[in-house]
Chain A
Amino acid sequence: MQIIDSRTAKELILAGFWYVILSVFALTLALPLVWLLSTSLKTGGQTFLMPPKWIPEPFVWTNYSEAFKAVAFHEYFWNTIRIVIFATIGALLTASLAAFAFARLRFPFREQLFLLVLSTIMLPSIVTLIPTFIVFRTLGWIDTFLPLIVPLWFGGGAFNIFLFRQFFMTIPLELDEAARIDGAGNLRIYWGVILPLSKPVLATIAVFAFIHNWNDFFEPLIYLQSPENWTMAIGLRGFQGLYHTEWNLMMAASTAMIAPLLILFFFAQRYFVSGIQMSGLAGR
């Protein structure tokens, strides 16, 4: 009995030690968010005080209701939701499909084509900005959601293809071979064997794509012109007045904007669990 007791005591101390370390880092890393929150509750005059005040005095909760009144936030919210959902689904589907080919099928020029995929994110987008705009104008897509959604249904971007590929390559090939012997085609292997084993990376990419499109500022700014088509990220500019910026309202709106992302991330984590079950292979 004595031995068990001393062991649990040791474990408890160790766990406590880890909690302290983890909490110190959590507080440090969460600093930007704490500041965002605190600014969102300040009066306009307090936002740029030096030295900065971390605890607002008084707490101005009405910043939030005022922020929602100042800009058409709910409209921006629904626009953003629509863009983000369609863009994320397209990216997940087509990027995983391409990555499956790059990771598990053999075809001529595979390595060269993969390098071409990666090369698309190596050229600074500043110089392709004007030509890309001309492409979408030619297609008649300016001031619609299409430039923000459709390209993601055509490959889903180099980042996502590469990330899927890296994870697909860690799955033992014998799974494909076994399915092939059972008569499955490549599409069946992709959908029925590889994707179910890839939940952690699917969750990761879904969250990343969602957050990226949610926060994306640059592309909506260029392609969406009428205010009724704006997303939240560009709607925030509404607080940037001609003569002064209402930082406290802007931070309130920013906080409201990232709150759903926090919740999404928190719940998406349940899929960060072991994907590959090797035990079924043990007998082979």
Chain B
Amino acid sequence: MGVQGDPGAKVKKGRSLLWSEARDGYLFILPWILGFIIFTAGPMLASLYISFTRWEIVTPSVWVGGAQYVKLFNDDRFWLSLYNTSYYVFIGVPLHLFFALLAALAVNMNLRGIHFFRTAYYVPSLTPVVANSILWVWIFHPEWGLANAFLEWIGLEGLYWLQDPRLAKPALIVMSFWSIGGQMVILLAGLKGIPMELYEAAAIDGANWWSRFWRVTLPLLTPALFFNLIIAIIGAFQVFTQAYIMTEGGPNYSTLFYLLYLFRAAFENFRMGYASAMAWVLFIIVLTFTIVQFVLSDRWVFYEGDVRR
């Protein structure tokens, strides 16, 4: 591939770590560091402290050590909610990303009026989440819903989407495909950042559409794909609103997601200590996933600016 002869590599070796560069680096992230210390670090540490206490909001908190964590690991419903969430993450996120990529490639075409289609594809991301959830309860309605009307139209039998414990999670995953707009826009920005020269060079080499896609588009899109993957996993582990409004965790706890269970512990049962312990377990899980992905990213994410270490 033409771009791999990285001209920055020569310069990189010749330059040692500069004091002034490090100073500028810290200066540039100083606003974030200050914001982190003032607004974020305190509340994070406070929730960690609360996870080692028993606190029912109205009563004073009592230090209980690791008791909440012990209780958590012996709670079947905790494990169930972790399973439900993992299902949503590991089946939903890859499919979601795949469809977002298809949509981005589609709206990157050079067609007249493509702006109109881009806007249309982004529209569901603008609809308020409550309105959207109510609509989807209708769409999945066993008798009147559009989903079953469509199935019957192609000759299949209607399904009990949200009433069948085996189907409720897949139904919510299907619904999530309507919100690919955000990821699509990020991938589109990535596609627009690919220099035309590379395509021209590939065309001169006689590459067809498919090999241009594999050898130019996809490698240069990996930074945007990587971003979407990381953010989508962090977000999917915290899936909440759809289950809260549409299924209330049911049927038979099949959509009791991690955050829904946490929310109930915190604001329905007022067990802040338990909820905080749950939050920190989730934090460790997601952090571990993210670190593993950053380590693995060296193998598949391609930065033209190269990573300087």
Contacts and interface: CB of A to CB of B under 8 A. Distances in A.
Chain A residues touching B, majority SS = helix
A211 B126 contact: yes
A113 B29 contact: yes
A221 interface: no
B192 to A, nearest CB: 5
Given A36-B131, A254-B128, A274 B195 contact: yes
Contacts of A163: 186, 227
A110 B25 contact: yes
Q: Which of B25, B138, B141, B303 has the most CB of A within 10 A?
A: B25
Nearest to A51: B144
> How many B residues are at the interface, by size bracket?
35 or more
Contacts of B307: 169
Interface string B273-309: 0011001101100110011001000000001111111
Contacts of B181: 29
B126 A258 contact: yes
B24 interface: yes
Interface in A6-42: 15, 18-19, 21-23, 25-26, 29-33, 35-36
A100 interface: yes
Contacts of B245: none
Nearest to B32: A155
Contacts of B127: 32-33, 36, 254, 258
B308 A18 contact: no
Interface stretch (A60-68, A76-84, A265-273): A265-273
A145 interface: no
A173 B291 CA distance: 25
Interface in A116-155: 116-124, 126-128, 130-132, 135, 151, 153-155
B305 A171 contact: yes
Contacts of A31: 124, 135, 139, 146, 178
B98 interface: no
A188 to B, nearest CB: 11
Contact of B106 (A22, A50, A174, A265): A22
Contacts of B21: 105-107, 186
B207 interface: no
Contacts of A278: 195, 197-198
A-B pairs with lowest CB-CB distance, top 8: A154-B35, A155-B32, A107-B25, A173-B8, A131-B43, A101-B28, A26-B120, A131-B46
Given A29-B178, A35-B135, 9 more contacts: A29-B123, A119-B287, A121-B234, A126-B263, A127-B275, A170-B193, A173-B306, A217-B128, A261-B126
25 contacts: A22-B106, A25-B103, A29-B121, A29-B181, A30-B123, A97-B28, A103-B305, A106-B25, A106-B308, A122-B287, A124-B259, A124-B262, A127-B279, A130-B272, A131-B42, A131-B47, A135-B43, A154-B36, A155-B29, A169-B303, A172-B305, A186-B24, A200-B188, A233-B128, A274-B195
Interface of B: 7-8, 11-12, 17-18, 21-29, 31-36, 38-40, 42-44, 46-47, 50, 57, 103, 106-107, 109, 111, 115-128, 131-132, 135, 138-139, 141, 143-144, 146, 178, 181-182, 185-186, 188-190, 192-198, 220, 223-224, 226-227, 230-231, 234, 238, 259, 262-263, 266-267, 272, 275-276, 279-280, 282-283, 286-287, 290-291, 294, 303-309
